Structure 1
Amino acid sequence: MVNLGFDKLDRAKNFNRFMSVKEFAAESGFAENSVRRMVAAGEAIIHYEGNKVYIHFQKTMDLLTKGS
């Protein structure tokens, strides 16, 4: 049988990585515009590659839920 979707373990692994703004917004439930504002305000763990920004999902969510 072929597994075409993600199981819980695969999804958990995917959260410990960098994501684009669009991916982060989809997984977190925030609007893309809100994610861009968080990046501009320094409220996210980010990495730039050229003019693209990538956000570390797990570390950013920890930062947002725990405060600092």
Structure 2
Amino acid sequence: MAKNYIVVTYQSAELFLEEYKSESQRLNNKVWKYEKDSESELTVALKNTNSTYQEALKKSWRSGGNVI
């Protein structure tokens, strides 16, 4: 049963990031950049919606969140 929760959580996060990307591109008239094929969806979202990736990481760690 625990495996099902992990799969559902992963799928939900993946769907959220896909919808977030679509909405962000539409609202900002900006196509997201992908530098590497191996980048995670979360990394791509952070890089394309914040002024700098490092700034996003710092903000998250200050608030107690875990970005990666």
Give the structure-1-normalised TM-score: 0.31
Give the number of the structure with larger relative contact order, counting CA–CA contacts within 8 Å between residues 6 or more apart: 1
- Which structure is higher in helix share? 2
- Which structure is higher in strand share? 1
Give the structure-2-normalised TM-score: 0.31
